[in-house]
Copies of this chain bind each other. A is one copy, B any other.
C-alpha cells in the first residue's frame, strides 16, 4: 500500500505531538516543546517515510528516524535564529527572544542529543549506517551555516560557492532524509544513493525558489514580508547573480545600497528589485529551479521501483518547485 502524503503528514504530526518534553528543568525542556509545536511543513520526516514507503508498508520502524531528522532540523533553526538574531519564526517569537540567549544555546544543545536518541532507535542491523549518514550530514549542515555567515562580509561570492553553501546548509539534509528511509527498510544501495541525489537536486531547487519568493512572491500568500533578504543583504541566488552580472553602474548602485546604514526600507527593496528586473533574474532563477527539479526527477526515474509507487514523491517535488509560499 502506498500512503498519500497527507496521510503520512497526519502520522508525523501525531508522532511529534506525542514527543514528551515535560522534563525538568523547565528552562531546558519548554523551549524544545515550544519550537517543535510551531509546526512547519514537516518536509524532511515526510520524505523519510515516503522513501521507506517505496519499499514497505509498515512505518513503525522508520518513524523514530524520521522524527530524529525533524528534531535535528528544528534544532538547527533554533540556533540559526539565534546566530542571525531573528526575532520571529513561523509568526511566533524565536526561542532567544521568548527566553534568552543562554536558554537558546543550551536547549538547542539538548535538542541535538534528543535527535540522536530518536536516530538511535533505528533497527540494530542498520544502526551504524544510519548513524554515519546522519552525523556526516549534520556536520555538513553546520559547514553550510558557517559558509553562509562567512558570506555576510563578502561581495565576491560566486554562484558555485553559493550552490555549495546551499547544498550543505539545505540540500544534504533533504537528501539524507530520503536516503535514511531507504536504509532503514534495507532498500538496494543503488536506490538509496539515487534517492540521495534526487534529494540534493530537490534541495537546491527548494532554496533558490525560497530566494525567488522573497523578492517576487505575493506577500499575502508567502506569509513573510517581501524583500526581507534584500534588507539584510542576504547572499541569495539573486543577489550573487546580480553582483556577478551587473554593469558598472548597476554594481555601484547595489554596493551603495548594501553598505547604506540609514535608508528607507521600501526604497532599498525597490532599487534592488529594479536591478534584478533589468538583469532578468526572475527568469534566470526560475530556469535554474526548473533545471534542478528536472535533474532530480531524472535520478528518481532510475530508482528500481514501479512508477506507480513514485507518484507521491514526484508530486511533492513538483509542488515544492512551483509553490507560491
Contact = CB atoms under 8 A, between A and B. Distances in A.
Contacts of A28: 142-143, 146
Interface stretch (A126-134, A281-289, A291-299): A126-134
Main secondary structure, interface of A, reads helix
Contacts of A106: 79, 83, 142, 145-146, 149
Interface string A242-258: 00000000000000000
A149 B105 CA distance: 12
B108 A135 contact: no
B116 A131 contact: yes
Contact of A135 (B25, B83, B120): B120
Q: How many of these chains are in the complex?
A: 2
A113 interface: yes
Contacts of A117: 132, 135-136, 139
A105 B102 contact: no
Contact of A112 (B109, B128, B131): B109
Interface in A250-309: none
A142 B109 contact: yes
Interface in A64-119: 79, 82-83, 102-103, 105-106, 108-110, 112-114, 116-117
Interface size bucket, A side? 35 or more
B116 A146 contact: no
15 contacts: A23-B143, A24-B143, A27-B146, A79-B105, A79-B109, A82-B105, A105-B105, A106-B145, A106-B149, A109-B109, A112-B113, A113-B135, A117-B132, A120-B135, A124-B124
Interface of A: 23-25, 27-28, 79, 82-83, 102-103, 105-106, 108-110, 112-114, 116-117, 120, 124, 127-128, 131-132, 135-136, 138-139, 142-143, 145-147, 149-150
Given A106-B146, A109-B109, 9 more contacts: A25-B143, A27-B146, A27-B149, A28-B142, A79-B109, A109-B142, A110-B143, A113-B135, A120-B128
